[in-house]
Structure 1
Amino acid sequence: MSDADVTQIAAATMMVAAKVAAPILLTALLVGFLISLFQAATQIQEATLSFVPKMIAVAIALLVTGNWVLSELVSFTHSLFDQLPALLDRT
C-alpha cells in the first residue's frame, strides 16, 4: 500500500463523513438560527428554548435520514473491503 493509496482512502473517508454528517448538522444550524432570530425579536433569553427544539429537530432528521446514512456507510465499507486485496498485492 503506497502513500497515494492511503491519501485516497483518507480523502474518501472524509467525504463520506461530511456527507453523512451534513443532514444532522444543517438541521441543527437551521433550527438554531431560527430560534436565535426568535429570541432576538422577542428578547426571551431562555437556554432551554434553544436546546429543546434543536434536540427534537436533530432526532427527526436522524429518523428521516437514518436509512440513507446507514446505506452510505455500508456501501463505503463494502468498497473498502473490495479494494483490500488489490491494495495488499501492491506491497
Structure 2
Amino acid sequence: MITPESAVEIVANAVHIVALIVCVLVVPSLVGGLIVSVFQAATQINEQMLSFLPRLLITLGMLVFAGHWIVRTLCDLFIQTFKNAGGMVG
C-alpha cells in the first residue's frame, strides 16, 4: 500500500535525479557564458552569436560526454520505480 511517506520518497528521489541531470548540462554552459560575457565586456564586442554559440556547443558537448550516464541514471530510476510499484498496490 502506498503511504504518504513512500510517495514523498518517490518524488524526492525523482526530483534529486532530475536536478543532478540538469546541473550536469546547465552548469558548464553557465560557466562558459560567464567567460564569454567577461570577454565581451572587456573587448566591448556585442555580437549575439558570440554569446549564444559557445553555450550551445558546450551544452551539446556535455550531452555527448555525459549522455550515457544520463540515460543510465534515468533507466535506473524508472526500473526502480516500476519494481517498487508492484508492492505499492493494495
Give aligned-pair identity as a percent: 26
One-letter amino acid matched to 1:76: L
Deviation (angstroms), 1:84: 0.8
Question: TM-score if structure 1 supplies the norm length?
Answer: 0.93
Cα-to-partner distance string for 1:10-31 (whole Å, 9 max, x where unaligned):
1001001011111110111111
Structure 1 gaps of 5+ residues are none
Aligned to 1:68: 69
Question: TM-score if structure 2 supplies the norm length?
Answer: 0.94
The two structures, once aligned, show a CA RMSD in angstroms of 0.9
Aligned to 1:38: 39
Runs of 4+ in 1 over 2 A off after TM superposition: none
Number of equivalenced pairs: 89
Q: Is 1:84 aligned to residue 85 of structure 2? A: yes
Structure 2 gaps of 5+ residues are none
